[in-house]
Amino acid sequence: MSELQTQSSFIGVQSMAYHKAVKEALNALYHHPDDAVRVDADRWLQEFQGYLDAWQVADDLLHDPTSNLETLIFCSQTLRSKVQRYFEELPSTAFRPLRDSLNNLLRKFHKGPPKVRTQISIAVAALAVHVPAEDWGDGGIVNWLRDEMTMHPEYIPGFLELLTVLPEEVYNYKIAARPERRRQFEKELTSQMEVALNILTACLNFNELKEQVLEAFASWLRLKHGIPGSVLASHPLVLTALSSLNSEILSEAAVNVISELIHYTVAGSSGGFSVQMPLIQVIVPQVMSLKAQLRDASKDEEDVKAIARLFADMGDSYVELIATGSDESMLIVHALLEVASHPEYDIASMTFNFWHSLQVNLTKRDSYISLGNESSIEAERNRRLQIFRPAYESLVSLVSFRVQYPQDFQDLSYEDLKEFKHTRYAVADVLIDAASVLGGDSTLKILYMKLFEAVGRYQNDGQNEWRLAEAALFCIRAISNYVSIVEAEVMPQVMTLLPKLTQHPQLLQTVCLTIGAYSKWLDSAPNGPSILPSVIEILMSGMGTSEDSAAAAALAFRHICDDCRKKLCGYVEGLFHIYRIAVNGEGGFKVSAEDSLHLVEALSMVITELPIDHAKRPLEELCLPVVSPLQEIVNQGPEVINKKTARELTVHIDRFAYIFRYVCHPEAVADAIQKLWPIFKAIFDLRAWDMRTMESLCRACKYAVRTSGRYMGITIGAMLEEIQGLYKQHHQPCFLYLSSEVIKIFGSDPSCANYLKSLIETLFMQTTHLLTNIQEFTARPDIADDCFLLASRCIRYCPHLFIPSAIFPSLVDCSMIGVTVQHREASNSILTFLSDIFDVANSSKGEQYLPIRNAVIIPRGLTITRILIASLTGALPSSRLEQVTYTLLALTRAYGAQAVEWANQSVSLIPSTAVTENERSRFLTALSDAASGVNINALTVPIEELSDVCRRNRTVQEIVQGALRPLELNITAPSVS
C-alpha cells in the first residue's frame, strides 16, 4: 500500500477502478491507432486530474512498482498540479502524510526517471509554499532538507533537485497560494539562504554532483537577496564556478552561475556597485580571460554562445560603469565588438541591447545630471562621445553586411524570410544607435563608401552583385531620420547613383524606399527641384516593375508629395497623370488597390497646399476616377448593385475616405460630399445589409465630417436621417461609430441639438432593445463596443442632450447586463462608459448633472458594485483588471462611504474559505482610502491581491462567482417606436 494509505485516509475510499481506467486511457493515448480514441482518452485524463480521487490514485500508481514510464510521468504531473492548484481540497490533517509520501517518492526516484523526479520535486516545493515554516516542522523546508540529506546521503541527487526548484517556486504563480503567504515564503527562503549555500558547499565534495550543485546555486542566486559581494567573492561556490568555466563537463552550469552573479551584483536589493565591487572585481577578469575562445575554431558553437552570453550580460549589467570610458571598461567594449563580429548572427546579436543601452547612457542628459552645471555636463558628454566614436564606427562596419540578401533568397520558406526581415530590422536599430552617437552625417559617410564600392561591382557584374548595393542602400535608408536635411557632401552623390540601380526588382524596391526616406532632404536640398523629375521617374519605374517595388514606389510617392508639396504644386498635371494610370490600372503599373491609397493621399496633400480657389478643380479631378465606376454601378440599378461583391464597391469608397481625410480644405470637401451624396445615399439604401460596404462608406463619411465640420450644411442632416432610419432595420455597428464622429464635431452646436437628440435616442433605444441579456452581448460585441463608445462621446460632448434624456437609465441598465462580456473591446467600452458617468463631476459643467446621475446610479449602486467586484474576482479575465479597478475606484470617489458600504455588502457574500477577513479588510481599506482622496496608484495592490486570491484555482473562482451572482441580469428594454 502507498504511504498515503498507510498513514492517512485523507482522500476517503477510492475506487480501484480508477487505477485500471488511468492505465487504459494512457495506453490508448500513446498507442491506439485511432485519432478519435486518442482524443477521447486525452479528454478523460484531463477530466480525471480534476477529481478528488486523483490525489490517491496518482499517489498509488507512483508507488506501484509495476507502473510503466507513461503512467509515472502522468501521475507525477497530476500530483504536482494538484499540490500547486488544489492543496486546499485536502483536510488540514493531510499535510504530513502528503509530505512524507512525496519524500518517499523523491527517494524512490532519486536516480530517475528525470522527468518524474522533477515533477515530484516541484510538488514538494509547492507544498512548502502553501505551508508555513512552523507547520512544516524542523525549522522549515530548508532545515528539513538539510537533515534529510545528512541522514540519507544516498538520496542526495534527488534532494539536490528539490533544492534547485525551491527558490524558483517563489515566483511561480501557478501555485494557488495567497499573496501574504507567498511573501512569507520568500522571506523564509531568503532567511535560509546561508543554510542552503552551506548544503551546496558540502555537496562540492562529491565530484559527480558538481554540475547539479552549480545549477542549484544559480537558482538560489535568482532570489537576489542577502549576501554582500565581499562574502561571495571568496565563497567556495563562486570560486568553483569560476574555475569550472573552462571545464568541458561543467562549463554550461558554470556560465549559468556567473551570469546570475553578474545580474546579482546590479539587483536593486544588492546594495549597488559599491557593495558589490569586490565580487565584480573577481568576475570581470575571469570572464575577460575567455575572450580568445570567441575566435577559437575548435570550440563548439554552443560553448562560444555561452561565453558570448557572459560578455553580453556583463555589458548590459555594467553599462553605467562602461559609459565612463575608463581603460578597464574599454577592454569590455572591445570584447563586445569581438562578439558583434562573430559570423553567427545569433551570437553577434547578443550585444545589440548593450549598444543601445550604451548609446542612451552617452546621449541622454540624465546620465550627467550629477555634474551640476551645463558647461560641465556638455564637456563630459563630448569627452565620452569622442572616446566611444571608434567603437561605434567599427560597429557600423561589423553589422551592415548582415542585412545582405542570401544567395538563395527566392527559395526561402515563409518562416526563414520572416526571420531575415527581423534580422534587418534589428540591424537597422543598431545603426540608429550608432548614428545617435556618431551623428547621422558621419554614419552616412561610412555607409556611402560601402555603397560606392558595391555600385562599382554591381556595374561590372550586376547579376550577382546587386545584393551588396541593396544592403548598403538599406543601411543608408535606416539612418535617414538622423541625417541632417542640409547634408551637402554625400547625399547628392547618393541621389546621383540611384538611377544606376534600377534593374533588379529587390534593389529597385530599396531604391524607392530610400527616396521616400530622404523626402525631407529632397525638399531642403538647393538642387532639389532639379532632382525631383529623375526621382519621380525612378518611382514610375518601380510602379511598373513588380508588386513589391510598386508598393515601395507608392509609399515613397506619398512621402515625396507630403514633404515636397510646395515644390510639386507646379507639377500637378504630371502627378495626376501618374495617379490616373495607377488608379485605373492602365499603363502596366502594378500598384495594388491598397497601395493606390498612398497615391490618393499623396495628391490630396499636394491639393491641400493649393489656395482654396485653385484647389476645387484638382479635387474634382482627384474624385473623378473614383466616382465614375461607382456612378456606373449605381446607374445599373438595384439588382446589379446588390449582386456586386463588397470589394467591387469598397475599393472605390476607401479612396474617397483618403481624399476626405487628407484634402484639408473644409469648404471644398463639403462641396464634394454634397455632390457625391446622391451616390452615397443610393449605396446606403441598397447595401445597408452588407457590413463591409457600410463600414467603408461610414469611414468615408466620418472623414468628410471631420474635415468639413460645420461647412457640411444640409448634407449632415441628410446623413443623420439616413443612418438613423437604416439602423432600425440593419443594426450595423458602423452607424454608431459614424454617429460618434458627428457627436464629437457637432455635439455642442445648439443649431444641431434637435437632430442629435433624435439621433442618440433612436440609436440607443434600438441598441438597448437588442442587448437584453449577456448572450446578446456575446453574439453582437461590435454593436456593444460602438454603442458605449458613442455613449462616452455623448457624456463628453453633449451631456445636456444625453444625461437628462429618457434613454440614459436604460443605457446604464444595459451596461450592467453586458459589463462581463468576454469580448475585450466591448467590455472595455462599457467600463469606460461607467467610469465616465462616475467621473462626470470632474468636467467643467458636470456638477449640474449630478442630481440626475445620482437618481439613476444610487438605486443601482449595490448591484453595479457587486458586478464590478465579480469582474475583479474572475468574471472577466485578469488582463482587464486595470480597467475594472479604475471603474470601481471612480465609483468609490463619486459616492464615498456609500460606495464602500456597497463593496462591504458585496464582499461579505464571499465565504471565508475563499477570502479571509484580513484580505477582505485590506480591500475595503483601499476603497476607503480612495473615497478620502488617496492617490489611486497606491491602492491597486490590495485590489489586485483580492483578485489573485479569488482566482487562485478553479474551485475557489467558482465559489466566489457563485456567491456574487446573479451576474446575468435580464432587464426589459423600453419599447421601440
**pLDDT tens-digit series, residues 336-362:** 999 999 999 999 999 999 999 999 999
Distance CA(470)–CA(552), nearest Å, equals 14
* pLDDT reported for residue 11: 40
Q: Grid coordinates representing 266? A: 546590479
The mean per-residue pLDDT over the stretch 595-608 comes to: 95
Q: Is the pLDDT of residue 704 over 90?
A: yes
* pLDDT reported for residue 459: 73
Q: For residue 371, give the DSSP letter.
A: G
Confidence of residue 230 (pLDDT cuts 50, 70, 90): confident
Confidence of residue 463 (pLDDT cuts 50, 70, 90): low
Which residue would you say has higher pLDDT here, 776 or 941?
776
* pLDDT reported for residue 464: 65
Confidence of residue 12 (pLDDT cuts 50, 70, 90): very low
* pLDDT reported for residue 891: 95
Q: Is the pLDDT of residue 507 over 60?
A: yes
pLDDT, tens digit, 9 for 90 and up, residues 815-859: 999 999 999 999 999 999 999 999 998 887 888 999 999 999 999
Q: Grid coordinates representing 602? A: 499623396
The mean per-residue pLDDT over the stretch 932-940 comes to: 79
Amino acid identity for residue 242 in this structure: L
* pLDDT reported for residue 971: 53
Residue (of 247, 236, 250, 214) closest to 282 by Cα position: 236
Confidence of residue 462 (pLDDT cuts 50, 70, 90): low
Choose from 18-22, 556-560, 588-592, 954-958 the range with maximum mean pLDDT.
556-560
pLDDT, tens digit, 9 for 90 and up, residues 641-673: 999 999 999 999 999 999 999 999 999 999 999
Task: Kindly report the number of other CB atoms within 10 A of residue 201's CB atom.
Answer: 15
Buried-state track 823-834, b at ≥16 Cβ within 10 A, e below 16:
beebbbbbbbbb
The mean per-residue pLDDT over the stretch 38-43 comes to: 92
Q: Is the pLDDT of residue 239 over 60?
A: yes
Helix then strand then coil, in percent of the chain rounded to 5, is 80, 0, 20
pLDDT, tens digit, 9 for 90 and up, residues 535-549: 999 999 999 999 999
Distance CA(136)–CA(584), nearest Å, equals 79
**Average per-residue pLDDT for the chain:** 90
* pLDDT reported for residue 370: 81
* pLDDT reported for residue 368: 83
The mean per-residue pLDDT over the stretch 60-84 comes to: 93
* pLDDT reported for residue 692: 96
* pLDDT reported for residue 965: 83
* pLDDT reported for residue 174: 86
Q: Is the pLDDT of residue 620 over 90?
A: yes
Residue (of 807, 845, 828) closest to 886 by Cα position: 828
113 preceded by cis ω (within 30°)?
yes
420-426 long-range contacts (CB < 8 A, ≥24 apart) are 423/345, 423/349, 424/474, 426/349, 426/352
